Amino acid sequence: MSDNQAFEKIFAGARLRRLRRERGMTQAEAAEALGLSASYLNLLERNQRPVTARVLLALAEAFDVDVRSFANESDRQLIADLTEAAADPVLAGLELDRVELNELADSQPRAAEALTRLFQSYREMATATADLATRMSGPGATTGGPGVVLESVRNAIDAHHNHFPDLEEAAEALSDRAGLRSRNRDQALAAYLQDQHGFTVRVLDEDVMAGARRRLDFHGRRLLLSETLPPASRGFHMAVVLASLEQADLLDSLCDQIDLPSAEGRRLLRIGLANYFAGAVQMPYAAFHRAAETNRYHLGVLQRRFEASYEQVCHRLTTLQRPGARGLPFFMIRVDAAGNVSKRFGGGIMPFARAGGGCPKWNLYDALRMPERILTQSFELPDGTRMLSLARGQSTQGPTGQPPVLHAIALGCDWDNAGKIAHADGMSDANPAAIGLACRLCDREDCAQRAFPPLNRKLTMDPHQLRASPYAFGES
């Protein structure tokens, strides 16, 4: 099949309209930039004409966008969120099917996102009420509680594909000023803090730090770091402090551009952006992207080259979205032994369940039993999408007297990109693991590890038959 044939049936009117509005352009102005007539662009935006390969190339040249966002199907995370909302008892009577949900996401993405946000807020409040959470009578009640605040920040970062060009440029400028190199970056940052801001960096005993990992002492002009921080993290924390000292206006400006429902969300986002800046200082975009491509995304090589932790490297790989120098699109997730998600980036390719546990057939959870070893896996989602997963357990030192903190971190991408990744050498997707987002969102039958029936299916329990799955279900 030719490239033109492959793109013939792409209808992306809502995405075209949203891109044009984000650029503040009229239809006539956008049509001129694309070399199209205004009437033809109008037909494209109303999904009365498909987006052809020629239009995609014009978009890439005129607007410097990643045409994959137009060639791909509807946002998988948005569809997953809509599916979960439609299966709730409050909406189940409407019997919304997947075709209708896809049409809503395609034609009215902002309305679809508003519906999912409302559902997330409703679910959070309902859960808090059921658990008699006293926080619902306090300040958090007006915003739906801490869970909704956290989700709003995650959604905002995902909406920017976890890439912030202004922070990348500021990090590169700092690297130039401070004369940072790939080796011994923390010593150079400590010298820069002393010379430019008068702060001395001190690494202190854990008991002196009283449980704190980092503390900025303005009175004594000292940056205090705990001895429990691994060496790979000390330079990162110095860069976080420099984000506050030198990039306050930029951080505020970026937060102003992102609509969040609460002051708590804004503060959480600001911390996240400061951490993003620190990662960009520790692993400068151009050098990191070049090393990733040259070494076929070998995580161990990148860790050694940039003196960074496994988690820091995985996180940085999800940010490589610079036009003209994009890396592979990755997703990342971090969970604990109870299945709680503490970090998540979908990368536009991997949807996640907003609540409840994940799929036990994903080797992400096996990694908890084998720390510091990368486990590879090919898996298939219920919609037929095939993925590559690289999962590894990570143990970090907790406070004295407490056991180490154990997380499992998975980095993944579409299986089509597996050949570009060193860790996938020798792997086959002939028999991918059949996993779901979560039991409540998975329609797979005869799964022996199913913990709950799917939300959108009716139970059909037969007392005279026992199958592999503890639940039998029919049509919705």
Whether 72 shows a pLDDT value over 90: the answer reads no
1.10.10, 1.10.3470, 3.40.50, 3.30.450: CATH of 325-441:
3.30.450
| Tokens found for residue 200 | 């001395």
> Which pair of structure tokens corresponds to residue 95?
């019997």
H/E segment holding residue 255: helix 248-257
Domain 165-282: top CATH class: mainly alpha
The CATH code of domain 3-71 reads 1.10.260.40
Tell me what pLDDT residue 92 has: 65
Residue 125 has pLDDT above 70, yes or no: no
What average pLDDT does the segment 401-417 reach?
91
pLDDT at residue number 200: 96
pLDDT at 187 over 80: yes
CA pair distance 100, 80, nearest whole angstrom? 13
Least confident of 62-76, 221-235, 390-404: 62-76
Whether the per-residue pLDDT at 77 is higher than 80: the answer is no
Question: Quick one: the chain helix, strand, coil %, rounded to 5?
Answer: 50, 15, 40
Q: Is the pTM of this model over 0.95?
A: no
pLDDT value of residue 134: 36
Domain boundaries, given as residue ranges, for the chain: 3-71, 76-144, 165-282, 325-441
The more confidently predicted of residues 456 and 155 is 155
Give 99's pLDDT tier (boundaries 50, 70, 90). Answer: confident
C-alpha to C-alpha distances, 242 to 182, 200, 247, 297, 476, nearest whole angstrom: 18, 13, 7, 29, 54
pLDDT at 8: 44
Residue 143, pLDDT > 80, answer no
* pLDDT of residue 114 exceeding 90: no
